[in-house]
Amino acid sequence: MSDTGTYSLMVHGGAGALDNVKDDKTAFRYLDSIRRTLEHGRDVLLLGGSALQAVEACASLLEDDPVFNAGCGSVLNENGKVEMDAAIMDGRNLSAGAVAAVDNIANPVQLARLVMTESEHVMLIAEGAMRFADHCGMARVPEDYFYTPDRVEQLHQARLKHRMMLDHDDTEEDSEDQKYGTIGAIALDPAGNLAAATSTGGIVNKRMGRVGDSPIVGAGVYADNETCAVSATGFGEDFMRTVISKTVADFMLMQGMDANQATKAGIDYLKRKVNGRGGVIVIDAAGNCASDFTTKKMIHGWIEKSGEVTCRF
């Protein structure tokens, strides 16, 4: 661990064509949420919070914003139900916690954190995860907490087309113009500790029981003080098959790359091996921030080495 004395923070709110962002008002709505989340995470770090606390706080805020496909804004599966996945990882010692196919929980990332700190396991799923939530005293929220009119209409459209859709996919089948609205947060604190968190509702009209990359350590999330913190968003099956987050970390570990080089190498690998769709955000141990994506856009923002807040698509 190196004491950098500065902090870095990055968050994302999904990748895709973002064709639904057709006007300044909608663009502002997304970017304002990203900005406010970064400002909140900055406050956590400036008040002495760890990278782990910062990513949990940022991910929770994004889960509470219905424009993103996580927490209250989660998409619906083939049965019209919410099934959410989330994970959190601590780069200090590779501790990790994850939950998959959970419902009735406002902040799955917080349940993932409890799996990490209060159980001897890394991942709990479905009913077992919910029982663990009860055991930890985590409040359950009613089903209508999740059912925004947009999500119900989105599932209706997917069913009409007899297909599985990705978040905010309002385009032709097989089009690249899709949005993957998962959220993620990664941080380096001034003590040199890295952490990462990712949370999602998955894919519209997905099969019951489908689990994506987001809760899989090394696929949708990864943090190791020796290399970097990574959070991914995009077509989960592509990321699972390429173990994309660990692949980026391995480019650093084995080839001495920095954040920019490793991120580019990782996305090149994703394209070359599976023509994968999506992107990653990355912070290396020196606090360098990097991002890359194969989709047209990715909603994301960062504070690099205690600098200014920057947000973009």
37, 50, 69, 242: which one binds ligand ASP (CB under 6 A): 69
Closer residue to ligand ASP (CB): 65 or 304: 65
The shares of helix, strand and coil residues in the chain, as percent rounded to the nearest 5, are 35, 25, 40
Do 179 and 22 form a contact (C-beta atoms < 8 A)? Answer: no
Q: How far is the CB of 142 from ligand ASP (least distance, A)?
A: 24
The whole-angstrom separation of Cα 291 and Cα 97 is 24
Contact range with ligand ASP by CB under 6 A, out of 23-31, 104-112, 187-195, 209-217: 209-217
Of 138-167, which residues contact ligand ASP (CB under 6 A)? 167
77, 200, 205, 294: which one binds ligand ASP (CB under 6 A): 200
| Residue 310 appears among annotated catalytic residues | no
257 three-state secondary structure: coil
4, 8, 50, 214: which one binds ligand ASP (CB under 6 A): 214
Name the one residue in this structure whose structure tokens are 């009613």. 142
Q: Which residues 6+ apart lie within 8 Å of 132 measured at CB?
A: 111, 114, 115, 119, 124
**Where are any strands of DSSP class E within the chain?**
8-16, 84-90, 95-102, 123-125, 179-180, 183-188, 194-200, 221-223, 228-234, 278-284, 289-293, 297-303, 309-312
* Residue 218 engages ligand ASP in binding (rule: CB under 6 A): no
Options 182, 198, 263, 294, the catalytic residue: 182
189, 213, 284, 304: which one binds ligand ASP (CB under 6 A): 213
* Residue 169 engages ligand ASP in binding (rule: CB under 6 A): no
Contact range with ligand ASP by CB under 6 A, out of 48-56, 99-107, 175-183, 287-295: 175-183
* Residue 291 engages ligand ASP in binding (rule: CB under 6 A): no
* Residue 205 engages ligand ASP in binding (rule: CB under 6 A): no
Pairing of strands 123-125, 95-102: parallel
Residues making contact with ligand ASP (CB under 6 A) = 14, 69, 167, 180-182, 200, 202-203, 212-214, 220, 233-236
Q: Which residues are catalytic?
A: 182
